[in-house]
Amino acid sequence: MDGRSALAPIADKVERGERLTRDDALALFHSNDLLTIGRLADLANRRRNGDRVCFAANQHINPTNVCVLRNTCVFCSFARMPQEDGAYTRSLDEVFAEADAARDNPTREFHIVGGLHPKLRLAYYVDMFRGLKARHPDVHIKALTAVEIAHLARIEQLSVTDVLIALQDAGVTSLPGGGAEVFSPAARATIADKKLTGEEWLAVHRAAHRLGLPSNCTMLYGHVETMADRVDHLLALRALQDETGGFLTYIPLAYHPDHNELGEALGRTGTATSGFDDLKNIAVGRLVLDNIPHVKTHWPMVTPFISQVALTFGCDDLEGTVVFERVYHEAGAGTPMWLSYDQIVGLIRGAGKEPVERDSLYQTVRTFEDWVPGQRSARPEGPEGPTFAIAHRRRAQARGGRKLPVLSGVVDGAE
Ligand code: V47
């Protein structure tokens, strides 16, 4: 380590395997010495995961985009009012038909998340998961974000734990991240966020972990949060992991500003984060979250190019085949909708890493010592047709005229 670098004391700690403090994490986020941060994160990752980079052959399914938070969740471009153009709610048969793409693909995981529909009850989801398990017994179900689980508990007048038990009985093996954006009360007030508070989000995941249901954790970055907000968010995740050990992977989520009210208020279009900030978030996440086994890069958000570079910035997990992605493509992501199994393996190999196909619980499904490119392809047969086309919202705001309490001199995500 170059003794003249301002990050030298942090580097010493990382090399000794010591836990980083809040001040260390802040210094990392404020530093522009990206290569040192990346090198340290790479060291921390290699210690845990060697050269292995895993991925799941997964398929995202979004059963509905109707959401009671359509008017208030200002950074989301996916949600619709029930009668709004583009609103959809799949019947169970439609979900099963969509999932049938898994028959021609090596799919091992369904990633199922959607809007908070005012009328879809717990039974809809339980029947969906049971039906999917009956049709695809070898495919894991990773389903429902914390905010969806809290919503179901509310409309069913059940405890969060009872909802989780019902989901687990129906075949859910893990929970995705998402559903709370950045835990900071100040940032939440700035964007008038009505989703779960940080404490509520953590309580849902704590309850899941107590039932033996592991989960992922995320942080939305690049909107109005400060560097201190990011650090506090990471420290809250680290503290819960110390308590339960139930998080499998951490995934930083890069904010996308198109077709949502926040992007309009901030005057941003296209990509809101920079490649620099995307790599820094991966690396700092790896360094601070010393107790979470995996850090995943989500190529639909940050591009396959940045994701490939992220593999030497502390990341050992790459988002999988996806098949059809709506949440980020509605918000302006210009990335492909899906990557083939071969493309994923090739991306990992291209970074000099060892690809490992995993299931939802990070058990090895396949390694690739004898892999010959082009032998297997995923999905060209996936869902097609009008119901799967992205039709952007006509208006970011459901009801015009409201002024968001976004600060005038808003914090730049990259600061
Ligand atoms: O909670 C919504 C985010 C999340 C935008 O666990 C946005 O493997 C950027 O959690 N720009 C849902 N992000 C997705 C999610 C996720 C994604 C990939 C993998 C996993 C996993 C989980 O998407 C939401 C919210 O944080 N989001 N709108 C937007 N405009």
pLDDT in tens, 165-187: 999 999 999 999 987 777 788 77
Q: What is the pLDDT of residues 256-284, one digit of tens each?
A: 999 999 998 888 888 779 999 999 999 99
Which structural domain, as residue segments, surrounds residue 259?
Answer: 21-385
Query: What pLDDT is recorded for position 394?
Result: 76
Residue 396: inside a domain, yes or no?
Answer: no
Residue 98: inside a domain, yes or no?
Answer: yes
User: What CATH number does the domain containing 94 carry?
Assistant: 3.20.20.70
Query: What pLDDT is recorded for position 131?
Result: 98
| Residue with CA nearest ligand 1 atom 28 | 76
Checking if the pLDDT of 234 tops 90, the result is yes
**In 326-335, which positions are buried (b, 16+ CB within 10 angstroms) versus exposed (e)?**
bbbbbbbbeb
261 Cα–ligand 1 center, Å: 16
Residue 318: inside a domain, yes or no?
Answer: yes
Residue 402: inside a domain, yes or no?
Answer: no
Residue 379: inside a domain, yes or no?
Answer: yes
Burial class (CB in 10 A: 0-12, 13-18, 19+), 364: exposed
CA atoms within 13 Å, Cβ hemisphere of 150 = 20
Residue 400: inside a domain, yes or no?
Answer: no
178 Cα–ligand 1 center, Å: 5
Is residue 396 very low, low, confident or very high in pLDDT (cuts 50, 70, 90)? Answer: confident
Residue 112: inside a domain, yes or no?
Answer: yes
Average pLDDT, the chain: 89
d(CA 395, CA 213): 38
Residue 5: inside a domain, yes or no?
Answer: no
Checking if the pLDDT of 218 tops 60, the result is yes
179 Cα–ligand 1 center, Å: 7
| Residue with CA nearest ligand 1 atom 8 | 176
Q: Is the CB of 221 under 6 A from ligand 1?
A: no
Q: Is the CB of 413 under 6 A from ligand 1?
A: no
Checking if the pLDDT of 104 tops 90, the result is no
Indicate which atom in ligand 1 lies nearest the CA of residue 272: 11
Its pTM stands at: 0.92
Q: List helix spans (H) across 21-159.
A: 22-30, 34-49, 92-99, 122-135, 146-156
- Total count of domains within the chain: 1
